[in-house]
Amino acid sequence: MVLFLFGLMGLLLLNAKRLSDYVKENIGVTLILNDNARDVDVIRLQKKLDATDYIKSTRFVDKATAAKELKKELGEDFVDFLGYNPLLSSIDVKVYASYANPDSLALLEKKFLEYPEVKEVHYQRNLVRQLNRNVNKLSVILAVLSLLMLVIFVALINNAIRLSIYSRRFLINTMQLIGATRGFIRRPFMSKGVLHGIYGAIIASIMLLGLIFSYQKELKAVIDFQNMETMGILLGLVFVLGILISGVSTFFAVNKFLRLKFDELFY
């Protein structure tokens, strides 16, 4: 479970850039269209926008659809209450992550307003500023959190191994009394510790892959399933850590009891 949780943190850290891009590219920019804009001009405008290198996607929303969506949000039919539909048709725009910052969006807003079909441009400026400030800190936060969790994971595994070897402290002392060398005594414990690390890494990898592929559809926007190199690095880290932590913890735990005298084993 410890290695599985570390794998999850590693997965987030390795995909931090993709995760931040996903968040940025879901910032909505709405182009409110003039009421007298002709359908043919709107279609032409949408095609122009789709052809640019800074727009990821566009979606045309006519007056009727806008009214239906707002009615669903409000929970009441405002059109019946007012007697008419006050909403205008619009084009919802999503820009690429590299343009989803205050300066670039301000320039794009001016560019959008140059089109005669566009009346207004709406987007949440404060949200964009806050999002960019926080997203830039995301990698650092994840790295610090991963380091903190690694320390906790090492402590948990180390304590479990120490308790396991503590229960065999008298066996270690008996082997010393009959003349066994430290290396000979340490060897079976080290082998078992490394083997447990491998087993733990295998179980953690199976759980991690099972979780990832079970939710592949939901996670495809933030995890690059085509990049097998990243997945290989992650699973490799899980195995290396599993073996390294178990091996090193076993080594120091056994050494501790090798240094103790018989009467000290009772404390």
Q: What is the pLDDT of residues 165-180, one digit of tens each?
A: 887 888 887 888 888 8
Domain covering 28-123, topology: Alpha-Beta Plaits (3.30.70)
| HSE of 189, CA atoms in CB hemisphere, 13 A | 28
Distances from the Cα of 86 to the Cα of 71, 104, 124, 128, angstroms: 12, 31, 22, 28
8 Å CB contact between 138 and 20: yes
Strand 29-33 relative to strand 118-122: parallel, antiparallel, unpaired?
A: antiparallel
- The one-digit pLDDT tens for each residue of the chain (267 residues) are 678 877 877 777 777 778 788 888 888 899 999 988 888 999 999 999 999 999 999 999 988 888 787 778 777 776 777 777 778 889 999 999 889 999 999 999 999 999 999 999 999 988 888 888 887 677 778 778 878 877 887 888 888 888 888 878 888 878 888 888 888 888 888 898 889 889 988 998 898 888 888 877 777 776 776 677 778 888 888 899 889 888 888 888 888 877 776 666 665
Which H or E run contains 32? strand 29-33
Provide the β-strand partners of residue 30.
92, 122
pLDDT for 59: 93
Alpha helices by DSSP H, listed for the chain, are 2-14, 16-24, 39-51, 63-74, 78-82, 102-113, 125-166, 169-177, 182-214, 216-219, 228-259
8 Å CB contact between 5 and 65: no
Task: Give the angle 54-56-62 at the CA atoms, nearest 5°.
Answer: 110
Task: Report domain extents, the chain.
Answer: 2-17+137-266, 28-123
